[in-house]
Amino acid sequence: MNQTFGVTGSSPAPRPRPFSVNNAPRLFTLVVLAILFLITSAAAQQSSAPPPQQKPDAGQPAQPANPPQASSQDTTTQNPNIKQQEKTGTSNDRLFFALPNFLTVESKNVPPLTAGQKFKVVARGAFDPIQIPWYAIQAGISQAENSEPGYGQGAEGYGKRFGAYAADGTIENFFVGAIFPSVLRQDPRYFQMGQGGFWHRTGYSVSRIFVARTDSGHHMFNFSEIFGSAAAAAISTYSYHPSADRNLGNAGSVWGTQVGYDTITLVIKEFWPDIRRKAKKKKEAPAP
C-alpha cells in the first residue's frame, strides 16, 4: 500500500485524490501488472487456438481431426503441482516464476486451511526474499518522485520509504490473508476456474474481490478483502506515516488503490497456470 504525503509544517496537507501523481509507486506496480495481464491474456488466447490440420501423405491413413484428449481427471492425477495442492492445501507456485503465489490452487479438491496454516502460508509469502527488491523498487520510485516529502531525501529518506513499503505490504497481507480469514472462517485462497472463455474467466476472477469461500466450502461476501484492506490502510495511515498525512481522504485513497491492485492480481492468477503450462511444453518439446 502507498500513502500520499503533504509537506510537513503549519499548513494542512492537501487532500490526496485516489490514483493521484503522489501515488506514483503504486500506480507503477498497477501498470506493470496490467501489462503482464495483457501479455498473459494474449498468450492464453494463443494457446487455446486449435493447431492447423495437416494433410496426410499419400498412402498413409488419415488421422482423426480431433484425437482423443486425456480427461481432466487423468491430467490432475499426472500433474505434480495439483497433487501437492490436494495434499497440503497450498501451492509452491510463483507468478512469472518469481512472485509468491502460494494461495492460488488449480483444484477444488483441496483440504480446508486451519488458522495456523493461514498465518504460516501468508508469512511464507510476506517474508519471501523476492519482496526485498520489490519494495526497494517502489521506494526508489517514491524517492525519485519525492511523493513522500515527509521522509526527506538521501539514504535516510530512502530507508524510511523502504521500511514503510515493507510494513504496508506485510500488514495488508496478514489482514487480508490471515487475520480476517481466521476470525471470519473464510478461505483466503484463490480457486482458479481454468476453463471457459476469456471474458467469462476474467469476470470470475474480478468477482472474487467481493465473493469469498468459507472454510466449509460455501460462498459469502469477501469481508476479508474489503475490510481487511481497509483496516490495513487505516493502520498504515494513522500510525507510522507522517502526521500531516493522517486524514480520512488519504486512508480512502490507499484503500481504493489496494483493492484495484488486488483485482488485477487476481486476473493474472487466473491465467498464469495456462502460461506456465505452455512455457513448460515449449521447453520440453523436442527439437525438429
pLDDT at 149: 77
Reported as a pLDDT band with limits 50, 70 and 90, residue 122 is very high
| 250 or 75, which is more confident | 250
pLDDT at 83: 84
HSE-up (13 A, CA, CB side) for residue 253: 24
230, three cell numbers: 481497509
What is the chain's Cα-based Rg?
Answer: 22
Q: Cα separations (Å) of 142 from 23, 31, 54, 153, 268?
A: 8, 15, 55, 10, 25
Does residue 167 carry a pLDDT above 50? yes
DSSP 98-165: TEE-TTEES-S--PPPPHHHHHHHHHHHHT-TTHHHHHHHHHHHHHHHT--GGG-SHHHHHHHHHHHH
Mean pLDDT of 140-169: 85
Picking from 46-50, 104-108, 162-166, which range would have the lowest pLDDT averaged per residue?
46-50
Does residue 271 carry a pLDDT above 60? yes
- Measured CA to CA, the distance from residue 62 to residue 30 in angstroms comes to 50
The tens digit of pLDDT for each residue in 16-55 reads 333 333 454 555 555 555 555 555 555 555 544 445 555 5
HSE-up (13 A, CA, CB side) for residue 226: 11
Mean pLDDT of 8-20: 35
Contact residues for 245 (Cβ-Cβ < 8 A; gap 6+) = 3, 4, 5, 6, 13, 16, 150, 237
- Measured CA to CA, the distance from residue 184 to residue 270 in angstroms comes to 25
What are phi and psi for residue 187, nearest 5 degrees? -90, 120
Mean pLDDT of 123-130: 93
